[in-house]
Each structure stands twice: as C-alpha cells, then as structure tokens.
Amino acid sequence: MHAVACIVEIGHHGTPVRGELVRVQRVDERSVDAALAEASFRAMIERLADAVLVLHRDLTILYANPAASGLFGFDKSADLLGRALPLLFHSDDSDGLRERLNAILATRAPSPWRELRAERRDGAVVHVDVSGTRVVFGGKPAVLAIVRDLLSVLDDGKSGAQRVRDLVRELHASPRSVDGSQAIDVRPLIDSSVREAQDELQHAVTVIREYEGVPCVEAQELRLSQLFFNLIVNAMQAVRESGRSHREIRIRAAVDGAWVLVSVSDTGTGIAAAHLRRIFEPFFTTKPRGAGTGLGLAICREIVTGRGGEISVSSTPGCGTTFVVRLPRAAAPISS
C-alpha cells in the first residue's frame, strides 16, 4: 500500500511556499482526515502557497486549503466544497484530468505533475501543474491533489528564497532521504510516460526504446516522471506537426561512467538555430499564442540541474531534434 507525504519548501521568512506529493511505502493506511485533525499538520497545509484538495470518489471536493480558493477565484474554501474538480478546468483538459484522477483511485499509483489549464471563477485561464495520489478520507478511498500555479513557480525561483525542505511525516514515517528521493530505475518511468503521452495525444507514432544495462539514479519519482513525460510529449508534438508519414521517436538509456544518459530523439520539424539558444528560457515558446506557457522545458532543466545533472539539445531544421539528459548514477544496484 502507498500513502502520501508532503515535501514543503520554507521561504526566508519561515513561511511554507511550496508543497509536493511523494509516495511513501507503508503497511497500514492512515486517513487524511485524521491527519488534518492534528493542528500542526493542518496549519502547515493551510499555509501552503499551492492548492491542496481532497476529492471524493466522484471527484467532488471534500476539503480545500485557502490557496485553492484563491487559485480558482473563490472567496473562501467552503465555496469549493461539493464542486467537481474537473469542471474547474478548461473544457479541453477536464476529460483527461477526470481519467487520470479515476486511474489514481483504481490503481493507487500517484500521478506525476501534468500541465493543465484551470479556469478561475471570473473565466480567466491559469496554467497549472496537477499531481495526485490515493488516500483515505472518512474511511473511504479519496484523492489528495496539489494544484500549482506555474507562474508562481518561476516567480518564487526568481525571488531567491532559501529552499530548506522539511519532510512532513504526519501520515507515515519513510526510510527515504529528506527530499523524498530514492534510487530509481528510469526504464519503467520512461515506459509509463510513453503510454501516458500516447493516450493523451492520441496519434500514431513509432516509439523505439533502447536500454543498455542502465543503473539507478537518485531522484524523486514524480519529478523524474514529469521530466520524461514533458520531453516525450514535445517529441510527439514535433513529429505530428512535421506532416511526414515517417513518425518516429527513439529513446535511449545508457550508462556513461558515473552518469546515466537518457536521450529522446524525434523525426520532427527541428528547431531553428535562433530558437535553439533560448529553448530552456522560461516563457519562451514557438507554439501559437494560448497553446503553451513556455515553461515545460524550463521546468525540465530545473528538475535535472536540481539533481546535479545536465540537459542539452541538438537539432537540424527539417530533420529532427534530440534532447540528452545526464543524471548521476545512484550508489544502489540496478533494480530488478
């Protein structure tokens, strides 16, 4: 069984500024409503800048912290109770969100961060990341979700606030390191990211995977899943937009000394040299207005560099693009 713990980043004034879900191995399943009844845990959740919500099996909201009401444009948290979370998102994103939330309930597998478009009460669109995991609330299965305003992620990064992370273990103690990282085999994460990307984009692409005795890396599973998902979705979109009959993505994972290398190559349209220099800049995008925030690759870079790794890109216009991720290998042996 799995539970959720919350990683909290503390700003320079001692205020929680960021929350993140990590999966925790456990023997028994403790309920979130019991944890929320504890003053210290509830105070921490209600001071987070990220929206935290607990969803019923029908995906209506049972609990929302103050940040959730602010994000969706409501006066108070109580105004959100009983509303279906997917209906608070753009019509093009709500069905996909509903499917992912139902999958969490069915499989108990946490959902990595996904960029979606939330709609405030006044109709304004907010680009957000959404992640969730299955918990127990009121003795019944529920979903604990965190919704993160992408613009606030970049603003907080620019502020230079000290990022001291405290792992809140009110739900269950975990043997993992303080930031929720563990030794991870990248191969199953790549495989699941390919499946999710294909389901989301729903177009035929040949995906070739080459794995060469890959050691584990030390990382947070949800963040690493987000990294691979973003790179694979970008590749699939590039191949789709090329208009070619030959639509291929090649993903290679290998070891290079103390590094694990993962490359994602596509036969898409390629990237112009002038754009290539800016590809990892926050808010830079070559997509049409309203089709993207320009934060996906910037976030990928933050995930990689945050683990002491490197990410690079090479491209030939009209031929395709290759992204290469280099991550330090973990001390633990390869996963079975």
pLDDT-derived band at 178, boundaries 50, 70, 90 = very low
For residue 287, pLDDT over 70 is answered with: no
Alpha carbons 328 and 258: distance in angstroms, whole number: 6
What are the pLDDT digits (tens) for 112-154? 667 889 999 999 999 888 888 888 887 888 898 889 888 765 5
- Mean pLDDT (whole number) for 154-182: 40
Give the per-residue pLDDT at 19: 46
Region of poorest pLDDT, from 191-195, 200-204, 224-228:
200-204
pLDDT-derived band at 334, boundaries 50, 70, 90 = very low
Give the per-residue pLDDT at 48: 80
pLDDT-derived band at 211, boundaries 50, 70, 90 = very high
Give the per-residue pLDDT at 40: 55
Strand runs (DSSP E) across the chain, as ranges? 2-10, 16-25, 51-55, 61-64, 111-119, 125-137, 140-149, 164-168, 182-184, 206-211, 217-219, 248-256, 259-266, 310-316, 320-328
In CATH terms, the fold of domain 182-328 is Heat Shock Protein 90 (3.30.565)
What are the pLDDT digits (tens) for 27-43? 234 466 666 665 656 77
- Mean pLDDT (whole number) for 248-267: 94
Alpha carbons 298 and 152: distance in angstroms, whole number: 14
For residue 297, pLDDT over 80 is answered with: yes
DSSP symbols for 204-252 = --EEEEEE-SPPPEEE-HHHHHHHHHHHHHHHHHHHHHH--S--EEEEE
For residue 158, pLDDT over 50 is answered with: no
How many other β-carbons are positioned within 10 Å of the β-carbon of residue 3?
Answer: 24
The answer to whether residues 201 and 47 touch, using CB atoms and an 8 Å cutoff, is: no
**Secondary structure class of 118 (helix, strand, coil):** strand
What are the pLDDT digits (tens) for 68-104? 999 999 999 999 999 999 999 999 899 989 998 998 8
For residue 179, pLDDT over 60 is answered with: no
Region of poorest pLDDT, from 20-29, 59-68, 318-327:
20-29
Domain boundaries, the chain: 2-168, 182-328
Region of poorest pLDDT, from 109-118, 184-193, 196-205:
196-205
What average pLDDT does the structure give for the chain?
77
Nearest to 52 by CA among 169, 132, 150: 132
Helix axes 221-242, 296-306, angle to 10 degrees: 140
For residue 155, pLDDT over 60 is answered with: no
Q: How many residues does the chain have?
A: 336
**Secondary structure class of 47 (helix, strand, coil):** helix
Alpha carbons 298 and 115: distance in angstroms, whole number: 13
CATH of domain 2-168: 3.30.450.20
Token pair, residue 102, equals: 């139902």
Give the per-residue pLDDT at 131: 84
More confident site: 187 or 44: 187
Region of poorest pLDDT, from 14-18, 112-116, 223-227, 250-254:
14-18
More confident site: 299 or 180: 299
Nearest to 8 by CA among 28, 22, 29, 25: 22
Give the per-residue pLDDT at 233: 87
Give the per-residue pLDDT at 335: 42
Nearest to 290 by CA among 148, 127, 129, 153: 127
Give the per-residue pLDDT at 50: 86
Strand 51-55, strand 140-149: pairing: antiparallel
More confident site: 227 or 22: 227
Contacts of residue 173, Cβ cutoff 8 Å, sequence gap at least 6? none
Give the per-residue pLDDT at 108: 73
Apex 13 CA angle, 171 and 129, nearest 5: 55
- Mean pLDDT (whole number) for 327-336: 68
| Burial class of residue 78 in the structure, from the number of CB atoms within 10 Å of its CB (0-12 exposed, 13-18 middle, 19+ buried) | exposed
